[in-house]
Structure 1
Amino acid sequence: MILRQVRDSKDDAEAVRLTTDAAFAASAAAKGDPPVEGDENQAILLRSVVRHLARTDPGGCWLAMDDSGQPTGAALSTRREGTWGLSLLVVTPEAQGKGLGKALLARTLAYGRGCLRGLVCGSRHPHAARAYRAAGLTLHPAMRLRGTVDHAGLEPPTGAVVEGGPGLRDLMDSVDRRLRGGAHGPDHTELLRHYRCLVSDDLAGSGYAYLRDGRVELLAATSRRIAARLLTAALLSLAPGAAARIGRLTADQEWAVDVGLAAGLELTTAGYVCVRGMRPPAPYIPSGLFL
């Protein structure tokens, strides 16, 4: 077994994607969930994010290969101004139970040594919860909203919401620092390549949201009023009958639960938001990949 850093290359990006698909399919089967269907748009996104993180955080991105050169595990982690995040930790089914996940996690934890804060979006797989708790993270149970949006249940936002872009990155970084102790920095450039961005900024506060294909990927705001405004605008931007999904909501995000329930979405439990040296940021919906 070989552990090496992920390179900024097509081959390594594809190796991480294949490993991720295999691990997620096995996890879905173990939990009794429907089979994971391949999505080329998601594959393109993951390849791009892998290469992005291989450039910005080469010391935090690791790939495991077996003796024949086949990928068996991968881990991606970031450091952003004193905040460490684990974006991905996957092991193929045939390599599980052999300590590989623990070894990969150890490499990412070493990369985050010296960071005062840590953030992980953990699945509900029992092995993940056990590993993150053993690493000293506090696990906060999370919820998920999904379903078809009922526009009639939502009041139009009372404040301005505009399209975001590179020119607003300083504002978004400022919101990040206030909520999670570290700006996303270069991640905003990558996010803007793949997601629609909404921004609100007035005397009541500032905030932004990223969304794609009905999924709210990341939302951060300096007040619950701004956060609810952004989430409402994001849901109302969807076509009638479109599906929506909002995940990784801790109990601190009741404002999001209220908006989602008003929109007719179904609320269920799903995984954990794991933190170290901090409370779950709020009002905040973390990104699984960008945290």
Structure 2
Amino acid sequence: MRVISSAAFGASHILKGEAPDGPATAEEIAARHSVTRHLARTDPGGCWLIEDETAGPAGAVLSTRREGTWGLSLLAVVPGAQGKGVGKALLARALVHGRACLRGIICGSRHPVAARTYRRAGFTLHPAMRLTGPVDASGLKPPDGAVHEGTVRHRDLMDSLDRRTRGGAHGADHEELLRHHRLFVVDDLAGSGYCYLRGGSVELLAATSRRLAARLLTAALLSVPEGTAARVDRLTAEQDWALDVGIAAGLEITNAGYVCLRGMRPPMPYIPSEDFL
């Protein structure tokens, strides 16, 4: 799976005129393998691999079904197999896995073929932005309330927030996220929310209000280790509260693909996970 992804996304960066990603660390590789195993275990009907008898692996897809919300975690085709219907066949299998779902989410790249493919599949493409760079803590106001370290004990709270924002709980995905991420939680009279962070990257955030979402994101950015670049991806225009926090922290804003939705409006306030959506 990692070989397919590296080959596919490396070629995608070149097509878009972007620098390729640097080599993955041992920790990142282990986390990627763990996520793949988790998705294959929970959704065997949504995870497929295509192999060529002579050339080897040609493409792979990982998709999930969570309480009526379907998500596409990965769709990758190696350069030599692109344009031959491999991606179309894989996506078709993944969509069959979610045929009973009322809602669908894909975090799509800026690759023109991917955008066209998802639109043809009936998804609305919402342009997304990315925040990156070192955090200037002096520009951030302290969180306006308490933010706690989260644990597996907050699973019910997080599932409830998932249902409220995206229409389906992540369920066992939270256990996988907790293996690799730090969890921040807000739960008081004003409402509730949660945010996952690994290194400097925000992976997933959901809250009952923009105010609490901004509090969580502020706390997460303030905890980013010095010398580590922060990264907040997959921000649609509806998440302008996150842009305000990022601007205050001195982060740069760039265009970064699409959040593709079917049967639903952009969740608010919510920052999706690329793997768990």
Fold shared by both chains (TM-score > 0.5): yes
Q: Percent identity?
A: 69
Structure 1 residue aligned with 2:259: 273
Residues 115-155 of structure 1: per-residue CA shift (max 9 Å, x gap): 00000000000000000000000000000100110000001
Which residue of 2 is the match for residue 210 of structure 1?
Answer: 196
Give, in whole Å, the separation in 1 of the partners of 2:11 and 2:44.
28
- 2:106 maps to what in 1? 120
**Native 8 Å contact 2:199 2:225 kept in 1:** no
Q: 1:136 is paired with a residue of what secondary structure?
A: coil
- Match status 1:197 vs 2:183: yes
* Amino acid in structure 2 at the alignment position of 1:140: H
Deviation at 1:239, TM superposition (A): 2.7
Report the alpha carbon displacement of residue 30 of structure 1 after superposing the two structures with TM.
1.1
Structure 1: runs of 5 or more not aligned: 1-15
SS in 2 for 1:64: strand
Moved over 2 A (4+): 239-242
Given candidates 70, 82, 86, the residue that maps to 1:84 is 70
SS state of the match for residue 120, structure 1?
strand
Q: 2: CA distance between counterparts of 1:127 and 1:42?
A: 27
Q: For residue 233 of structure 2, give the secondary structure of its aligned residue in structure 1.
A: strand
Structure 2, gaps ≥5 residues long: none
Equivalents in 2 of 1:162, 1:68: separation in Å? 53
Counterpart of 1:263 (choices 245, 249, 253) is: 249
Partner of 2:48: 62
Deviation digits for residues 95-119 of structure 1, max 9, x if unmatched?
A: 0010100000000011100100000
Is contact 2:132-2:230 (8 Å) kept? yes
Is the CA contact 2:104–2:262 (under 8 Å) kept in the aligned structure 1? Answer: yes
Counterpart in the other structure of 1:186: 172
The answer to whether the aligner puts 1:28 opposite 2:38 as a matched pair is no
Matched AA of 1:36: D
Comparing 272-281 and 238-247, the one that deviates more:
238-247
1:17 Cα deviation (Å)? Answer: 1.1
Contact 1:221–1:284 (8 Å) recurs in 2:
yes
Find the aligned partners of 1:51 and 1:73 in 2 and give their Cα distance.
17
Please show how residues 32-47 of structure 1 align to structure 2 within 5 Å: 32-40=17-25, 41-47=27-33
Aligned counterparts of 1:53 and 1:137: Cα–Cα separation in 2: 22
CA distance in 1, matches of 2:54, 2:185: 48
| Aligned position for 1:53 | 39
| One-letter code aligned to 1:265 | L
| Distance (whole Å) between structure 2 residues aligned to residue 274 and residue 150 of structure 1 | 31
CA distance in 2, matches of 1:231, 1:286: 13
Matched residue of 2:184: which SS? strand
Separation in 1 of the partners of 2:49 and 2:55? Answer: 11
Q: How many residues align?
A: 276
1:204 aligned partner, one-letter code: A
Amino acid at match of 1:72: A
Q: Take 2:151 and 2:85, find their aligned partners in 1: how far apart are those partners? A: 43
Q: Give the SS at the match of 1:253.
A: helix
Q: Give the TM-score normalised by the residue count of structure 2.
A: 0.98
RMSD, matched Cα:
0.9
Kept in 2: contact 1:222–1:283 (CA 8 A) = yes
Distance, in Å, in 2 between the alignment partners of 1:48 and 1:242 is: 24
2:101 is equivalent to residue 129 of structure 1: no
CA shift for structure 1 position 35: 2.2
Distance 1:170 1:35 in 2: 39
1:241 deviates by 3.6
> Is this contact kept in 2: 1:151–1:240, CA < 8 A?
no
Residue 275 of structure 1 deviates from its aligned partner by 0.4
Of the candidates 65, 89, 92, which is equivalent to residue 106 of structure 1? Answer: 92
Query: How far does residue 204 in structure 1 lie from its aligned partner after superposition?
Result: 1.2
- Aligned partner of 1:161 in structure 2 is 147
Q: Secondary structure at the match of 2:89?
A: helix
Distance (whole Å) between structure 1 residues aligned to residue 241 and residue 232 of structure 2: 12
- The alignment partner of 2:261 has SS state of strand
Deviation of 1:69 after TM superposition, in Å, equals 6.7
**Cα distance in 2 between the residues matched to 1:103 and 1:35:** 27
